[in-house]
Structure 1
Amino acid sequence: MAKLFLVRHGQSLWNLENRFTGWQDIDITETGIEEAKNAGIALKKEKIDIAFTSVLLRAKHTLSIILDEIGKPNIPIVMDKALNERSYGNLEGLNKAETALKYGDEQVYTWRRSYDVVPPGGESLKDTYNRVIPYFEKEIAPLLKKNENVLIVAHGNSLRALIMYLEHLSPDEILEREIATGIPITYIFDENFHVSRREE
């Protein structure tokens, strides 16, 4: 039975500063480094055959720390922008609280938490889903079907899109799902490539 491990990158500087990050290439904090080390400790006994990550520094840095921690720095790594965070467009770099003062709490909540409303110049969660899932089906699912164990280190919304797909969640259900930084989520597949168990 194949296993898929999902990890959201460790805390980034803009997570700490409550800014919209999106595609901006921001590194992780000291706390984020510790979260990545803890994720590695949690995964230490697992067999991991290949790792995937986005092209953004915070995810790549988190992955490198995890692989060092588990003693497997040389496994194959695939980086692809399909796994990037959702783009927040013109909101990127803005403080979330200040943006709410400018546009109103309700508008900012809609931009952040609706499924198909697009922030100015950015992507909706639906847009993110529509790039993550075809990539997963083409590049990652075939490996799982061959019983390879896969680690994906990515972002809150790219992982949310994938979880929506794996768990057959509705748009309303996925918007209620929070994904903590640096905490591995494990999906175990049966021989028919159905998720048989989820562990966190």
Structure 2
Amino acid sequence: MPRLILVRHGQSQWNLENRFTGWWDVGLTEKGEAEARAAGELLRERNILPSIAFTSVQTRAIKTLHIALEAAGILWIPETKDWRLNERHYGGLTGLDKAETAAKHGKEQVHIWRRSFDTPPPVLEKGSTFDLSSDPRYAGIDVPQTESLKDTIARALPYYQGSIVPHLKAGATVIVSAHGNSLRALVKHLSGISDEEITGLEIPTGQPIIYEMADDLTVTDRYYLSER
């Protein structure tokens, strides 16, 4: 039977520093690496082992995947990296301290930027410190200068349907190592969550979410592996 495993990357350095990260590439903390390792060990213990993997092109998600797969003893399985599984682009907020930003712009405005379904943060200026338009991993891509959750869904969900669903239809167990907002896009679709409710959904780092599916990909069960 098809099975989908979703894992948000382990704690990153900017998670620890409470900074807006988005598309900027930061590494995992020691805690983040431990979270990834624990996720892989849990997959091995419960014998829920993926046969194919998908991740973003961001280091924190890639390393989480690799650490987890190594801990599970299946580092060799095929994997695909794609920018459409990247975190939401936080535009001009990228790199800013969240508390300082709230003090400057007001908590209500920052809450709108962070949690609104379709209101993006301010645009990131071309040529600024965190502009990734010349990054070689995005060659040929029109790199966004900001994104709302709605924008993130608009790229992540078609990728899921076009590239991941065929493997699920073939009966595979698939793991996706990605980010809070790109995973929200998949969870919203799979669990039928409304636009209003999805903005409040928190996905913890390093905790595998399991979707059990029927052959037609109807979801039959959803749970955190640590709770079973």
> Pairwise mapping of residues 13-52 of structure 1 onto structure 2 (< 5 A)?
13-44=13-44, 45-52=47-54
Distance 1:81 1:192 in 2: 27
Q: Alpha-carbon deviation of 1:26? A: 0.2
Whichever residue aligns with residue 43 of structure 1, its letter is: L
Look up the match of 1:170. 194
Q: Deviations over 1:109-135 (max 9, x none)?
A: 000001000101210000000000000
What TM-score comes out, normalization by structure 2 length?
0.87
8 Å Cα contact 2:49-2:72 kept in structure 1: no
Whichever residue aligns with residue 175 of structure 2, its letter is: L
Distance 2:40 2:66 in 1: 10
Q: Alpha-carbon deviation of 1:14? A: 0.2
8 Å Cα contact 2:87-2:179 kept in structure 1: yes
1:185 aligns with 2:209: yes
1:124 aligns with 2:126: no
Corresponding residue SS for 2:64: helix
Distance 2:171 2:111 in 1: 40
Q: Deviations over 1:6-50 (max 9, x none)?
A: 000000000000000000000000000110011001111213110
Distance 2:216 2:79 in 1: 26
1:102 aligns with 2:73: no
Q: Alpha-carbon deviation of 1:141? A: 0.5
Whichever residue aligns with residue 182 of structure 1, its letter is: G
The ranges of structure 1 where at least 4 consecutive aligned residues each deviate by more than 2 angstroms after the TM superposition are: none
Distance 1:159 1:47 in 2: 19
Percent identity between the two aligned chains: 53
Distance 1:191 1:133 in 2: 20
Distance 2:11 2:49 in 1: 25
Q: Alpha-carbon deviation of 1:177? A: 1.0
Corresponding residue SS for 1:20: coil
Look up the match of 1:65. 67
Distance 1:26 1:47 in 2: 27
Whichever residue aligns with residue 188 of structure 1, its letter is: E
Look up the match of 2:173. 149
Distance 1:86 1:169 in 2: 18
Look up the match of 2:58. 56
Distance 2:92 2:206 in 1: 27
Corresponding residue SS for 2:206: coil
Distance 1:123 1:4 in 2: 26
Instruction: Name structure 2 gaps, 5 residues minimum.
Output: 124-145
